[in-house]
Each structure stands twice: as structure tokens, then as C-alpha cells.
Amino acid sequence: MSYIFFITILLVVFFLIGASALTAFNTAALSLGKFQTKESLKKSNFFLSNFFLTSWDRFYTTISVTKHLLYLLYAISLFFLFLLIFPNVEMHKSPLIFLFAAITIFIFLFLDFILRFFAKSFTNTTLIITSLISSIYLIFFLPISAVLKCQPNL
């Protein structure tokens, strides 16, 4: 059990760091605008800038899809972690499920608010600091986001 517990904690942290970095990066990029973002990213450690920055729509869509995937994976892995901590919880009989959901949403909203506030206050600095982390997550999730982006609206 300790091995699965440790892996689950690592996944929660991995997904939360990625989603948080992409939130701050996206907020800073939208605050700066298209041309200032391109100029700032030329000075940073953003990988594959030629690929991502050729089309602003592809750039923004890839960031958005990846960020939402990471938040979804964070919520699923945190819920799984709670079920590992409390294995005797039954879904339909326990109010702990609502507590799990409230904790998950609170962590998400708190980090989202703090990072958006920081990104609005220190736009260039946030863009440069989060560019390396964001580009690693974008490259890692690029195949998944490309497939999801190509799906027609249902």
C-alpha cells in the first residue's frame, strides 16, 4: 500500500504543479498580448517556441486544453488519494465524499486565485519564470491535446 500511496502523492503534486504553472503562464501571456508575449518568450527558456508561436490560436488552445487536462487529472488523483487514506468510505452512505470534493475544489480555487493575482501583478517575471515548466508540460501533453483539439463538437 505504501508504494501506491507514494505514487499517488507524486501524481497529485505533478498535476498540481503543471496546472498551476500553466495558469500563471496563460494569465501572463493574455495580459501581455500576442506581440509582447512573443518578445518575452524569446528571452526565456521556452522550448519549441517556433512551433507554438507560429499560430496564436494553436498556442492558446494547446495551453488551455493542457491546463484543463491537468486540473482534471489532479482532481481524479487527489480523490484516489483520499480513498487510499480512507478505504472504508462508501460512496452512497458517507458525507466524507462531499468533504473530499470540497477540499479538492478549495485547493484548486485557492491556488488559481493566488497564481492569477501574482501573474497580473508581475506579468513579465511570471511569464519568464513559468515558461520552462510550462513548455515541459506542453510538450508532454501535446499529443493528447492535439487529439482532443481535433475532435468535432458533440
Query: Looking at the domain assignment, is residue 126 inside a domain?
Result: yes
pLDDT in tens, 42-79: 777 776 666 666 677 777 888 888 898 999 999 999 88
Using CB atoms within 10 Å of the CB of residue 36, give its burial: 0 to 12 exposed, 13 to 18 middle, 19+ buried.
Answer: middle
The verdict on residue 145 lying in a domain is: yes
Q: The domain containing residue 57 runs over which residues?
A: 2-149
Check residue 98 and give its pLDDT.
83
* 99, part of any domain: yes
In a domain, 38, yes or no: yes
Residue 91's pLDDT is what?
66
The predicted structure's pLDDT at residue 95: 79
Give the count of domains, the chain: 1
- The beta-carbon contacts of 78-81 under 8 Å, at least 24 apart in sequence, are 78/12, 78/103, 78/104, 78/107, 79/104, 80/8, 81/5, 81/8, 81/9, 81/12
Phi, psi angle pair for 74, to nearest 5°: -60, -50
What pLDDT, on the 0 to 100 scale, is given for residue 154?
39
Residue 131, pLDDT score: 84
56 belongs to a structural domain: yes
Which regions of the chain are under pLDDT 70? 1, 47-54, 91-93, 145-146, 148-154
Q: Is 154 a domain residue?
A: no
